[in-house]
Amino acid sequence: MATTKITRNFQVSIPKAIRDQLHLEEGDLLEVAERDGQIVMIPKRLIDADQAWFWTPERQKGEREADEDIKAGRLSGPFKTIDELKKHLGA
């Protein structure tokens, strides 16, 4: 655990070890909340509206399942031609 101090304008510095561990950079956003008498800071990332679909719980579940399939070797291809792919798919 590290100690930091509140400076003028109520600013605090996040210790380097924590910044490095969480890959925080100048300009990053943090959600700040009070929980049970403690100050909690949670790193936040902005997501472009046209990318929001990727971060839905349903899509992330599918991504995790796909990662598991890849790790287990449940893959097909690569295919050299579209005809080869169609044949594999039975189309």
26-67 pLDDT, tens digit per residue, is: 999 999 999 999 999 999 988 999 999 999 999 999 999 999
Under the phi-then-psi rule, with left for phi > 0, alpha for psi from -120 to 50, and beta for the rest, what region is 90? left
Element (H, E) at 32: strand 29-35
Instruction: Give the residue numbers spanning the domain of 21.
Output: 8-44
Mean pLDDT of 68-80: 95
Q: Is residue 2 one of the residues assigned to a domain? A: no
pLDDT of res. 69:
97
Query: Is residue 55 domain-shared with residue 83, that is, in the same domain?
Result: yes
pLDDT of res. 53:
94
Structural domain count of the chain: 2
Q: Is residue 40 one of the residues assigned to a domain? A: yes
DSSP classification of residue 14: P
CB of 3 closer than 8 Å to CB of 18: no
Query: Is residue 29 domain-shared with residue 54, that is, in the same domain?
Result: no
